[in-house]
Amino acid sequence: MTEIPKPVLLPGLDLRESIGQTANQAAAAGAFYDYRLTLAPNTLRRHRAALELFAEYLAEKGLRIHHLHDDPAAWRGITWGLVDGYYKWLLLQGYSVGSANVNLSTVKTYARLAIKAGMVDPAESQLIETVHARSRRRDRQRIDDQRRREEIPTRIGAKKAEPLLLTAAQVAALKDQPNTPQGRRDRLLMCLLLDHGLRVGEAAGLRVVDLELQTGTIAIYRPKVDRHQIHRLSPDALRAAEMYAAADINTTRNPSGSLLAGSSKNGSLTGSMSVRAIFNRVRLLGRQIGVAELSPHDCRHTWATQASRAHTPLERLMDAGGWASYAMPLRYIQSNDIANEGVRLTEEDTSI
């Protein structure tokens, strides 16, 4: 948080005016802090994720900016052109229109706070407000049609209307990755998505310290429901984690670093996998086995469906999947029911 300035007698002002100006400066400096105090933890995480994505875009433009979520000074120099470019960049990256709209709204909210802190020129702010989200269904359809023509994914950040259900053979093929740094990382990633039903953000948020090989468990934080959980690793996931830890974590990762490392051009591991990187990698691995436009949500959908078909109790499925209500897991159970179970056409009929 920006340090609150000490009262000083400003040139050309009497004491009363100077104190008033200092009070304005102090209030402006605390604008971010005061606003964030009113937000729920989940909202704070969503805001930070959106602003980190904005920082990723700015980095591509040559601007290395950090702490956009809590430091008003970080917004100095932000213009409407950068905000407008960020929104278009999200769409070109394949984020759904809905996700792009939410991210744009977050950026505009913090830009307004930066104005109060005196870090963004008010005239520039008025221009930032003119960056409008695409809300009409016709506009969304046009954007998706254009992205399909340019082979740009159309649903990053949102679930597909009809999730794909993978077969057992496809699940096995996705887990069967080569014994290379990227392959070992990909094997663990796919096991976490297919055997544990992790959401993409939950997988991206894993840290090395979350993996406990001695007990065969992994600690998961689920931001959507603000819940910490421990999962016992499936046999496939445990083997993948052991291979990855032995060959890659000990030499390239630090305990507080991301569990899933990013990929460099030469095939080595570096940094961490972002949500977008996981989307892209899952899609690529899907194409390699003949599954077009595979998404992490398809993996979660497959996991929940398999668990339901194996007669997992509703309470256990709800808890393991990190759902806050019965509504979502009930969809998987109901979708697996035989619609005419128990229906008889005659009193003697017992065939159905």
Longest CA span, the chain: 101
Residue 351: pLDDT over 50: no
pLDDT for position 241 = 95
Q: What is the CATH number of domain 168-335?
A: 1.10.443.10
In this prediction, residues 115-123 reach a mean pLDDT of: 81
- List where CATH 1.10.150 sits in the chain: 15-138
Residue 144 to residue 97: CA distance in whole angstroms: 9
Please tell us whether the domain made up of 15-138 is placed in CATH 1.10.150: yes
CB of 115 closer than 8 Å to CB of 125: yes
pLDDT for position 10 = 46
In this prediction, residues 251-280 reach a mean pLDDT of: 80
- Rounded to two decimals, what is the model's pTM? 0.56
254-280 burial by CB neighbour count: b if 16+ within 10 A, else e? eeeebbbbbbeeeeebeebbbbbbbbb
pLDDT for position 21 = 55
Q: Which stretch, 56-60, 139-143, 190-194, has highest mean pLDDT?
A: 190-194
How sure is the predictor about 238, in pLDDT bands with cuts at 50, 70 and 90?
very high
pLDDT for position 9 = 46
CB of 78 closer than 8 Å to CB of 67: no
Residue 237 to residue 246: CA distance in whole angstroms: 14
pLDDT for position 352 = 46
Q: Is 22 or 294 the better-scoring residue by pLDDT?
A: 294
List Cα–Cα distances, 246 to 28, 142, 181, 197, 316, in angstroms.
Answer: 50, 48, 11, 24, 32
Mean pLDDT of the chain: 80
Cross-strand bridge partners of residue 230: 219
In this prediction, residues 74-83 reach a mean pLDDT of: 88
Listed in sequence order, the DSSP H helices in the chain are 15-29, 31-37, 41-60, 80-93, 97-116, 122-128, 137-149, 168-175, 181-196, 200-204, 235-244, 250-252, 275-288, 296-309, 314-320, 327-335
Q: Is 17 or 168 the better-scoring residue by pLDDT?
A: 168
Residue 350 to residue 296: CA distance in whole angstroms: 42
Decide the pairing of beta strands 269-270 and 262-263. Answer: antiparallel
CB of 131 closer than 8 Å to CB of 104: yes
How sure is the predictor about 14, in pLDDT bands with cuts at 50, 70 and 90?
low
Closest CA relative to residue 274, chosen from 22, 49, 45, 8: 49
CB of 17 closer than 8 Å to CB of 25: no
- The three-state secondary structure class of 306 is helix
Among 225-239, 278-292, 297-311, 334-348, which stretch is predicted with the lowest mean pLDDT? 334-348
pLDDT for position 212 = 94
Residue 131 to residue 105: CA distance in whole angstroms: 10
In this prediction, residues 198-216 reach a mean pLDDT of: 92
Residue 46: pLDDT over 90: no
In percent, the amount of the chain with pLDDT more than 70 equals 75
- List where CATH 1.10.443.10 sits in the chain: 168-335
Please measure the distance between the N-terminal and C-terminal CA atoms of the chain and give it in whole angstroms.
Answer: 67
Residue 105 to residue 71: CA distance in whole angstroms: 18
In this prediction, residues 180-188 reach a mean pLDDT of: 94
Closest CA relative to residue 294, chosen from 280, 310, 283: 283
101-122 burial by CB neighbour count: b if 16+ within 10 A, else e? bbbbebbbebbebbbbbbbbee
pLDDT tens profile 52-66: 888 888 887 888 888
How sure is the predictor about 282, in pLDDT bands with cuts at 50, 70 and 90?
very high
Closest CA relative to residue 305, chosen from 323, 290, 321: 321
Q: Is 14 or 165 the better-scoring residue by pLDDT?
A: 165
Q: Is 44 or 140 the better-scoring residue by pLDDT?
A: 44
Burial of 6 (0-12, 13-18, 19+ CB in 10 A): exposed
